[in-house]
Amino acid sequence: AQTVTQSQPEMSVQEAETVTLSCTYDTSESDYYLFWYKQPPSRQMILVIRQEAYKQQNATENRFSVNFQKAAKSFSLKISDSQLGDAAMYFCAYRASYNTDKLIFGTGTRLQVFP
Amino acid sequence: NAGVMQNPRHLVRRRGQEARLRCSPMKGHSHVYWYRQLPEEGLKFMVYLQKENIIDESGMPKERFSAEFPKEGPSILRIQQVVRGDSAAYFCASSQLTDRVNTEAFFGQGTRLTVV
C-alpha cells in the first residue's frame, strides 16, 4: 500500500526568507502523481503544485517549487520569499496514475510565518 | 462555474443521532471522493463514487457509515448512531477524469461534524 510521510509537524520562517517542507512516500508503482496542498484556517484545500512522476523536471509555480527525487521517493516543497499569507497547514499527497483521483495524504506540516 | 459545494458547514449531533452530509460536485463532474480529517491529522480517504455506483469504499468504516451518489442530486455521506469519535471535518472532492494527465480533484470547504 502507498504511504506518505511528513516528518515535520511544524516549521517556521521569517517573512521574505525561504523554507523547505519535507515529504517522503512509498509506492511500488512507477507512474504516479504528487501534490502539495495548502489548508489555511478556512479549511479550504488549495492545490499549490503538482508533479508527474514521469517528468524529470521539477515543477515550479511562482514562489513555490519542488525537489522531486524519484529514486529516493522524496518530494519536498520550497517556498521562496515567504509571505504572511503562506501561513497554513501543508499536506503532501500521492495519487496513482491508474483510473482514479483518490489521494493519499501525509499528516501535514504547520507553517508559521513571522514578520 | 460554482465550485464543490458542501452543506452544512457545521453540524452538531447528539450521540446516537444520524448525520447527513451533502456534496454537490462541480458542474460536469461525475466522480466524487469523500475524506475525513480528524483533529490535527491529514485527510483520510473514505469512499469514491461515480453516479449511482460505489467504485472504492476501502476507507469506509464497516458499520454505521454509508455513501451514495444518485443520478440526480448531491452525494450524501450518512453516519448512523454517531459517536464522539465521529467528530471530524468531512471533505468532498470531485473530478472529471476525462483527461488522465490534467485531471484534478477539486475540494469543497468541508463539513465540521461535532458529536456532543
**pLDDT tens digits along B29-49:** 889 999 999 987 889 999 999
Nine-digit cell string for A27: 509506492
Q: How far is CA B109 from CA A9, A16, A99, B47, B83, in A?
A: 23, 29, 25, 17, 23
Distance, in Å, from the CA atom of A40 to the CA atom of A30, rounded to the nearest integer, reads: 32
Nearest CB to B43 within list A44, A99, A105: A105
Q: Give contacts of B95 with chain A, Cβ < 8 Å.
A: 101
Q: What's the confidence (pLDDT) of residue B14?
A: 97
Pairing of strands B43-50, B31-37: antiparallel
Provide mean pLDDT across the span B8-36.
Answer: 95
Q: How far is CA B100 from CA A98, B40, B95, B96, in A?
A: 8, 32, 11, 9
Q: Which helix (H) or strand (E) holds A19?
A: strand A19-21
Distance, in Å, from the CA atom of A106 to the CA atom of A104, rounded to the nearest integer, reads: 7
Q: How many CB atoms lie within 10 A of CB A46?
A: 12
pLDDT digits (tens, 9 = 90+) for A6-64: 999 999 999 999 999 999 999 998 889 999 999 999 888 999 999 999 888 999 999 99
More confident residue, B50 or A99: B50
- Cβ B88 vs Cβ B39: under 8 Å: yes
Nearest CB to A102 within list B48, B107, B109: B48
**Does B50 have pLDDT greater than 80?**
yes
pLDDT digits (tens, 9 = 90+) for B93-106: 998 865 555 567 89
- Sign of the torsion formed by the C-alpha atoms of A45, B101, A81 and A78: positive
Q: How far is CA B83 from CA B9, B68, B95, B113, in A?
A: 19, 21, 31, 11
pLDDT band at B15 (very low <50, low <70, confident <90, very high): very high
Provide mean pLDDT across the span A91-100.
Answer: 85
Q: Please name the residue of chain B whose CA is at the shortest distance from the CA of residue A31.
A: B101
**A43 has a chain B CB within 8 A of its CB:** yes
Distance, in Å, from the CA atom of B92 to the CA atom of B75, rounded to the nearest integer, reads: 9
The position carrying cell 461534524 is: B113
Partner A, chain B 78-107, Cβ-Cβ below 8 Å:
89, 91, 93, 95, 97, 100-101, 103-105, 107
Taking an 8 Å cut-off on Cβ atoms, the answer to whether B112 and A97 are in contact is: no
Quick one: what percent of chain B has pLDDT higher than 70?
92
